[in-house]
Amino acid sequence: MDCILTIDINTSSVRIHAFDLTGEVLGMRKGSYPTFHPQADYSEQDPEQVFITTLYVLKNFINEVIQPQKYKVRALCFCAAMHSVLAVDKNGRPLGNAIIWADNRGIKEAKMLKKSAFRSPIYEATGTPIHPMSPLIKISWMRHQDPERFAQAFKFVSLKEYIVLQLTGEYLIDHSIASSTGLFDIHQLKWNAQALEFAGISPERLSAPVSIFFDEVPLKKEYSKSLGLSSATKVILGSSDGCSATLGSGNIAADRATVTIASSGAVRVASKEILADEKQRFFNYLLAEDYYISGGPTNNVGVVFDWYTQFFGSFNPGQEFEQVRVELLREATQVPAGAKGLLFLPYLLGERAPIWNANARGVYFGLNITHEQKHLLRATIEGILFEMYSIGKLLTDHRSFSSISLTGSYSSIPLFAQILTDIFGLPFNVNTKVDSVALGTALIGLTGMKYYNNLEEASASTHFTETYTPNAQNHELYLRYFEVFERLSGKLEEEFEMIAGLQ
């Protein structure tokens, strides 16, 4: 049987799936690598470990699943987390670790760009909000704060480009990852001159931008031989994880949205037009020519619930984190919607959309003497999901939705899915059988190989395993709570800055 392998290089691990040519999963393997935090606000990964982990998982997967089943690998198709930057010398050798999306070291540079005349033209051309997550800001940080590394750097690449460079010997960046750098003009499909000027680099110091379907460079022969792959196996560049997740959720349609709840989260829509927002709160990333994925990201989803579990869960000796989490979820299910008038602003890691405030902090609001720990628990979960709604609500100013898909590791938790459904007041579809990022990546590969005529057709081939319907009474109640949530988060900007200054 012919198959396609998808390689998803995400924040914590590489996940490799095999799909047949109709998009059905044949198998999966993963391997993880760590994120280092050498200082507060710094988040880095070791590019060699990411590469070796990718190679190791790929080799084991081929040896243990692909070869015994006699599958023939027609293509490898890549996907990765956005916003990473790695400086490499002229031999492609890394100059230090890769700086990943979660890194906030460029706060000053982001502020500088926000105050400059470049702000609006760069945002409008690139579709990337001005924020320390963006590679534009990270390169600018390196230029000012680490001039030696900046000068030594032959090129600035993402982790995905680095893996592709190792495997093929070529510097290539797909349009999707390029569009999340803050340096790439999503309208003209070339590096943006003003962004390059702000970063202090010429286009030669970046890889050649190519389509997500690009497949013209083969694997180095040493790798194809070592992996036992035919020299005809195509290497398809693929896209970014956010774009792939939207495609794999079946939402390449103007009246649908995708909510992703994992460690971080996002609400996304796909269309042929970008979302123009005068306050510059949305991203507009390019999936492929004329396909834009727009929306807003949040920092505070699973990571906040993990924080709550760790510090407020009852850990009896020998009890596992997962068991405690399940107990907390069971307990939260018993608490009525609204947590008895308690609200939580979940900004433990600052926040991106919709408030874009790195100084934002967590707040429990409305506490009275009758509140118990279970109310704090329920309010924590609801606060995380109100934040998702605050992004979704902004999007509804531009689009009307008939349904929403839920993806990400938390999408399989019924309590999270039902509360989201009730808050949004719209049906939510979930596909618990397949990872939407991997499926979206496979669909890109299959479209590139002409098994589908276009991405809409590919996306329409997906299906859901469960649908949640909203409870009208809870929806009404949640809208009243959300009004307080929104007013509160809008009012605290100065206080957030003051308290952040004391921390």
Phi (first) and psi of residue 439, to 5 degrees: -65, -45
Q: Of the two residues 324 and 500, which places its CB atom closer to another protein in the complex?
A: 324
Which one of 29-37, 110-118, 205-213, 436-444 is the stretch in contact with another protein (CB under 8 A)? Answer: 29-37
Q: Which of 2, 24, 34, 465 binds another protein (CB under 8 A)?
A: 34
By the rule CB under 8 A, 51 interacts with another protein: yes
Which one of 23-31, 111-119, 391-399, 456-464 is the stretch in contact with another protein (CB under 8 A)? Answer: 23-31
Query: If you ran DSSP here, which 8-state letter would residue 492 be given?
Result: -
Q: Of the two residues 276 and 321, which places its CB atom closer to another protein in the complex?
A: 321
Integer Cα distance of 348 and 327 in angstroms: 23
By the rule CB under 8 A, 225 interacts with another protein: yes
By the rule CB under 8 A, 226 interacts with another protein: yes
Within 82-121, which residues bind another protein (CB under 8 A)? Answer: 91-93
Q: Of the two residues 219 and 420, which places its CB atom closer to another protein in the complex?
A: 219
Within 275-314, which residues bind another protein (CB under 8 A)? Answer: 306, 309-311
**Token representation of residue 227:** 């992996």
Which one of 27-35, 183-191, 204-212, 352-360 is the stretch in contact with another protein (CB under 8 A)? Answer: 27-35
| Largest pairwise CA distance in the chain | 70
Integer Cα distance of 245 and 469 in angstroms: 22
Q: Do residues 339 and 364 lie in contact, with contact meaning Cβ atoms separated by under 8 Å?
A: no
Residue carrying structure tokens 């032959």: 154
Q: Of the two residues 226 and 412, which places its CB atom closer to another protein in the complex?
A: 226
Q: What is the size of the binding site for another protein (CB under 8 A)?
A: 32
DSSP strand pairing (44-45 vs 86-88): unpaired
Q: Which of 6, 9, 17, 31 binds another protein (CB under 8 A)?
A: 31
Which one of 51-59, 128-136, 267-275, 380-388 is the stretch in contact with another protein (CB under 8 A)? Answer: 51-59
DSSP per residue over 207-276, as a string? Answer: PEEE-TT---SPPPHHHHHHHT--TT-EEEEEEEHHHHHHHHTT--STTEEEEEESSSEEEEEEESS---
Q: Which of 27, 41, 59, 108 binds another protein (CB under 8 A)?
A: 59
By the rule CB under 8 A, 476 interacts with another protein: no
Q: Measuring CA to CA, which residue among 241, 244, 285 is closest to residue 440?
A: 244
DSSP per residue over 169-184, as a string? Answer: S--EEEHHHHTTTT-E
The residue ranges that bind another protein (CB under 8 A) are 13, 29-32, 34, 46, 48-49, 51-53, 55-57, 59, 91-93, 222-223, 225-227, 306, 309-311, 315, 317, 320-321
